[in-house]
């Protein structure tokens, strides 16, 4: 039976003790709930994949509480990584860096690098600090299901499969972190889209570009450098990505610069019961991921009850609502 813990000092200490003992604990971050294990314990990390119901074929993101933990996990920290950490940490940016030997291959997906991020959720950071463990954590859902943004979502998927769920309320963002690596001292390579957009990253590098695996199928035997780089991406998903790319790089900038409300393209999001729903992976969250990634805006509100409208909060001059059954529009007010 999975224990449901709360964000009290006593329950966080109990969750931390479970992690030190090699158990699995789901915990909140600002993005989605993570399924956590001590990143240094290979058997515990294997148990994460077993609980999710998928093979251990992808690298996991290691979560840290402060900058003092970074050199314990990363063997090399380039200057550009330090610049980005000052700008975006704590927050939803994951940086792939050369790993220390303490991180086993099952955590890094067999690579000599590892994704590292510092979450901004206070409960997540309190748990990491109390446990003394760098926590490896994918999203706390069963394979093929939407990423969870509440403790109830996690319990629905993981009850009986893990030791505990630490309830820290609803996640603020609801979109996975952006994952990047560095080709050289001034080049940011985006491996997975997320809340931090290419537009956000551009001031900190000479060049920012997108991995082709976001749009194209990569070889089935290829080792992926980041969570979310799917070797079995469907033709429908690739078409979806190309469609969004055309919208976000051509139609919408025109709307923004002319400061008018101009119809874009028809967009109707499927419901969970629709056969089309799996094409978007996690439904509206997947749609957010591609929209945000191309730099149209920053943070998105959730729809009002009975509505499917999403609007930008961080950049209120760019309102970009998606309403089921109507047109995509960009309002500049």
pLDDT of residue 284: 42
Average pLDDT per block of 10 residues along the chain, 333 residues long: 97 98 98 97 97 89 98 97 97 97 96 97 98 97 89 96 97 88 95 88 94 69 64 50 48 39 32 35 36 35 35 32 31 28
Show the tokens assigned to 326: 């109507």
| pLDDT tens digits along 105-160 | 999 999 999 999 999 999 999 999 999 999 999 999 998 888 899 999 999 999 99
- Contact 189/209 with Cβ under 8 angstroms? yes
Query: Distance (Å, rounded) from C-alpha 38 to C-alpha 137?
Result: 9
Query: Distance (Å, rounded) from C-alpha 144 to C-alpha 283?
Result: 11
Show the tokens assigned to 90: 């704590």
Query: Distance (Å, rounded) from C-alpha 87 to C-alpha 217?
Result: 32
Q: Sign of the C-alpha dihedral, residues 25, 29, 32, 37?
A: negative
Query: Distance (Å, rounded) from C-alpha 194 to C-alpha 187?
Result: 18
pLDDT of residue 54: 84
- Domain coordinates of the chain in residue numbers? 3-167, 235-329
pLDDT of residue 242: 52
Query: Of the candidates 207, 151, 149, which has an alpha carbon nearest to the alpha carbon of residue 182?
Result: 207
pLDDT of residue 314: 35
Question: Which CATH superfamily includes the segment(s) 3-167?
Answer: DHBP synthase (3.90.870.10)
For 3, phi then psi, to 5°, come to -85, 140
Show the tokens assigned to 162: 């893990």
| pLDDT tens digits along 220-242 | 666 666 765 654 444 554 555 55
């Amino acid at each position: 039976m999975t224990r449901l813990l709360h964000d009290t000092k006593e329950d966080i200490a109990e969750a931390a003790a479970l992690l030190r003992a090699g158990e699995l604990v789901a915990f909140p971050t600002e993005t989605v709930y993570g399924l956590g294990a001590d990143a240094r314990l290979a058997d515990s990390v294997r148990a994460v994949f077993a609980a999710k119901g998928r093979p251990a074929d992808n690298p996991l993101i290691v979560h840290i509480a402060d900058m003092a933990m970074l050199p314990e996990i990363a063997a090399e920290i380039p200057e550009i990584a330090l610049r980005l950490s000052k700008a975006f940490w704590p927050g939803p940016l994951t940086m792939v860096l050369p790993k220390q030997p303490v991180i086993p291959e099952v955590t890094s997906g067999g690579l000599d690098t590892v994704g590292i991020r510092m979450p901004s959720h206070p409960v997540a950071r309190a748990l990491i600090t109390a446990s003394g463990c760098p926590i490896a954590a994918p999203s706390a859902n069963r394979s093929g299901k939407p990423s969870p943004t509440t403790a109830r979502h996690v319990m629905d998927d993981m009850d009986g499969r893990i030791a505990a769920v630490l309830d820290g309320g609803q996640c603020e963002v609801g979109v996975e972190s952006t994952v990047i690596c560095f080709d050289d001292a001034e080049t940011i390579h985006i491996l997975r889209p997320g809340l931090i957009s290419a537009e956000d990253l551009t001031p900190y590098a000479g060049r920012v570009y997108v991995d082709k695996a976001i749009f194209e199928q990569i070889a089935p035997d290829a080792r992926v450098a980041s969570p979310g780089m799917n070797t079995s991406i469907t033709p429908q998903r690739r078409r979806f990505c190309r469609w969004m790319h055309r919208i976000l790089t051509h139609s919408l900038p025109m709307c923004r610069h002319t400061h008018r409300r101009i119809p874009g393209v028809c967009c109707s999001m499927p419901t969970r019961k629709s056969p089309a729903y799996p094409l978007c992976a996690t439904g509206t969250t997947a749609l957010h991921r591609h929209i945000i990634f191309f730099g149209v805006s920053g943070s998105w509100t959730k729809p009002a009850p009975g509505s499917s409208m999403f609007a930008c909060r961080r950049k209120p001059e760019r309102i970009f609502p998606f309403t089921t059954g109507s047109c995509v529009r960009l309002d500049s007010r």
